[in-house]
Structure 1
């Protein structure tokens, strides 16, 4: 029996045996197992298996962290034990049936926005690169000044940086229809209708140069460029309406009647009811966010930087994608990203301290790669594999995140995009902020590292946990 086959067998047994496993899938780093009874899982036994970097139950799935490359090989071995393999989307659908109403709602929110994040990441990188190439100091290296940049070049950069936000409602409506069982192309068209050139542009209205169209004397109708909630709510209702209409319409008329009625009803509701209400709600959420971020003495950085990774553990952190999108649209920058990167870096710093201090070869082999993963912006291996296991390193990581967040807040650090942090996140701070960004990360890492080294971990603590 090969080593990977042995590991696969041990994981199956620790997950309650073949009879307890309904299906299995994997993502880039984790084996995702849907089980019939989570009480039969022996999590401690899983975490003692070679190559396992951590394990936890969340979102209706038992997730075993194995790391990139390794997870693919272990998954192949697991399937050899006559277990049902499914893709990640199918497993999510099974898992979606589990959990309470709030958990299912947050999971659906994440499923809608996760596929959109890559284009927003790319847009943020384009913003950072544009900020870099138009800096007077950078241009001076080539004997140029900002006046030498052609208007055509600036127009090209606007295409790169503005397109995703202009058509964001289309992306949101498309993804929402997909998640809630509608026809994605119908959702896409509904979203495009919300940003139709025939409507007053939302940015022009916000700037005061254009007036919204007033229906019935009191309903303001505008385009919803860069807006999220109206498209999200319209997408949910539209997907359910489409399924209801399809069930009522004869099959011979389905192709004509279903999309026609869905789009007619939903664009009417979206423009005259859903849009005005939820666009106003977005404004309230944004105002509250800006108020918190503007707290004096770096209080917002301490709060957000210190608590962010606790939110990550709960699995509801995807809901903050809405805030980051709104910040980028309103400010053209993202101060929230600058704070949370400190919380991510700090967890990596705490894990690095454990890895360097321990004499356990197994723990060292787990902690050091996990810390590097955190420095790339992925904290789950560090949190679930090391820091939460010993508790104190996690707490020291929270303190380090608060320290880095404090500096980010008082220095006014702001990213040009979202969804990437620490080392990859440097690309969001090329517009004269790079040195402050590096300093914030170093403060977070150093604080968490030193506190963990001095007070957060000892090998005696590991022995006690093993004995317990």
Structure 2
């Protein structure tokens, strides 16, 4: 069977031709093809050959391929009516020779939309009757210049042969490799890592392993992860460039190659590490994923934290009652980003880890779905297992459903699982079924894994930590203040601090006060003190832009912006902040500072006023907070941060690349 590939002319959602809103194309009058709902206006050539037509209104470009296929790329629907001011710029003219994937035009999507026209890009093989037996589109989200359809040619049509090199050092090797993997028609796409050219083939059985191994310049052949890997060594980039140069730009994937290189570098580095280095590297990588997942929402968290702090202040001074609609509306404005945090974190963590962001956002929606939240908070408890309340069942299996609002760690773990599951699903599910069944299986499997396995594990860890903290607190308020103050914000990183909240709530609802909450408040002041030092010390405008609102947010009782945006990212600052928290917690416990409200940090000053009359808890809070803030600020200023830390973070990718080259 003779096959050729047609590349996607634009990036966007590739849809069947019959679904486009133009009867001339959708009914196949212009030949077989497909449509794309574009997300970017850059247009590339779908095939190598000559430009045979450019419409006067610039809305359509025709190509004749080297194999005789005649292809029409139609930019938008009814856009010919915009001929007086065409929203297109065409870089080619009739008679020009183009390579598949070469940039040929730009379309102004905003201008087309504002003119009430459809932006759908349609591609059709206009000589389908003479040339094509079957055209199979690769439906789903696509980039420009990737394989958009597989075309089966009629028997009398000559099959596209391997393009010969242009005389470069590695062109002959590239030609031989392409031929031995089954020719261009057997190649879906190709990427590379540090030492290997990695092919995604339609049929690995067509590749001649032994012949490729015996080629001069090839070290070995390997098969893993759905890839046919040709081991080249240090010259891999040159060989890859030669292969893509012969296949066409649309077959390469620079982004995927960069990811593969990073993974390969990490694998090689991991093999050389000592056990302790592996622990440090693993923890550093985890922190990198957490901060990378949180950075996009830090501004929202800071703004919401400030709003929540102002609302707490209004409530504490009895300017607004918690039962009024005013309070409810403002609280929703400040609390929504925290309540629905799993949705946002799912999206950003997926982008960080290479999974589908939209699917992970939907999974976050599953966890915050009202019925799930209700099941976790008010579900009937039918028993206990490992200290966890059994409040639901799944196909008859008793499970513990936890509350995931305000949480981040389950979603990051879920995104990691998705990054492993998604490639496997795409390998085993046929292309025509992926658009429906990949999201279906992913949502079911990842949501189920979080609710049935990860959630209970986190709950069990939280319960054990809570029991340990209570035990420590009973030993000595000062010692417990020192330990809790030093490590409480570490629990916040992993979402385990929610085990402490029920204890605080129980204290306040049963006794009207909470010594434990006073210690927790000290840790918030410390994080604010550390980020305040960075806001004043740094000369970088982008650091100041993050640090100032994070400082205000921390003093309003919300530390996530300070931690994820600044302190954790630059490492030592989180340690100096934690030392400040330990000092503040020690003094809070030593002074027996009590707290009669939920709102902590500096904004919660009125929570430390005893309803029966002002006592030393109020002054103890002021003293402990002042010393706490000074210690965190001073240590961070002196040891916890410098602008060189920012420069090192910015240079990290270059250093990694250098390390990769050295490693090989």
Q: 1:203 matched to which residue of 2?
A: 377
Matches within 5 A, 1:83-232: 97=266, 100-135=281-316, 137-139=317-319, 151-199=324-372, 200-205=374-379, 212-215=391-394, 217-220=396-399, 222=401, 224-226=403-405, 227-232=407-412
Specify which structure has the higher proportion of strand.
2
Matches within 5 A, 1:49-448: 97=266, 100-135=281-316, 137-139=317-319, 151-199=324-372, 200-205=374-379, 212-215=391-394, 217-220=396-399, 222=401, 224-226=403-405, 227-289=407-469, 291-292=471-472, 296-303=476-483, 305=485, 320=493, 322-324=495-497, 327=500, 331=504, 337-341=520-524, 343=526, 402-409=582-589, 410-412=592-594, 426-427=602-603, 429=605, 431=607, 437-444=621-628
Q: TM-score w.r.t. structure 2 length?
A: 0.38
Count the aligned residue pairs: 320
Q: 2:412 and 2:501 mapped to 1: Cα distance?
A: 18
Q: Is the 8 A contact 2:410 2:454 kept in 1?
A: yes
Q: Point out which structure has higher relative CO (alpha carbons under 8 A, 6+ apart).
A: 1
User: CA offsets, 1:113-133, max 9 Å, x none?
Assistant: 444554444444344333322
Q: Is the 8 A contact 1:341 1:441 kept in 2?
A: no
Corresponding residue SS for 2:355 = coil
Corresponding residue SS for 2:399 = strand
- Gaps of at least 5 residues in structure 1 are 1-89, 140-144, 352-362, 389-393, 419-424, 457-468
CA RMSD of aligned residues (A): 5.5
Q: 1:46 matched to which residue of 2?
A: none
CA 1:231–1:340 in structure 2 vs 1: closer, same or farther (change >3 Å)?
A: same
Q: Is the 8 A contact 1:125 1:428 kept in 2?
A: no
User: CA offsets, 1:206-256, max 9 Å, x none?
Assistant: 999x98322355522536332444433323212321122123334443322
Q: Is the 8 A contact 2:519 2:588 kept in 1?
A: no
User: CA offsets, 1:382-405, max 9 Å, x none?
Assistant: 9xx9x99xxxxx99x998765433
CA 1:261–1:215 in structure 2 vs 1: closer, same or farther (change >3 Å)?
A: closer
CA 1:319–1:442 in structure 2 vs 1: closer, same or farther (change >3 Å)?
A: closer
Q: 1:94 and 1:417 mapped to 2: Cα distance?
A: 44
Corresponding residue SS for 1:134 = helix
Max radius of gyration: which structure? 2
CA 1:167–1:341 in structure 2 vs 1: closer, same or farther (change >3 Å)?
A: closer
Q: Cα offset for 1:292? A: 4.4
Specify which structure has the higher proportion of helix.
1
Q: Is the 8 A contact 1:348 1:445 kept in 2?
A: no
Q: 1:253 and 1:416 mapped to 2: Cα distance?
A: 51
Q: 2:173 matched to which residue of 1?
A: none
CA 1:171–1:345 in structure 2 vs 1: closer, same or farther (change >3 Å)?
A: closer
Q: Cα offset for 1:185? A: 0.9
Q: Is the 8 A contact 1:337 1:414 kept in 2?
A: no
Q: Is the 8 A contact 1:345 1:441 kept in 2?
A: no
CA 1:245–1:153 in structure 2 vs 1: closer, same or farther (change >3 Å)?
A: same
Q: 1:450 and 1:111 mapped to 2: Cα distance?
A: 27
Q: TM-score w.r.t. structure 1 length?
A: 0.51
Q: Is the 8 A contact 1:195 1:223 kept in 2?
A: no
Q: Cα offset for 1:104? A: 1.8
Q: Is the 8 A contact 2:402 2:459 kept in 1?
A: no
Between stretches 103-112 and 223-232, larger displacement belongs to 223-232
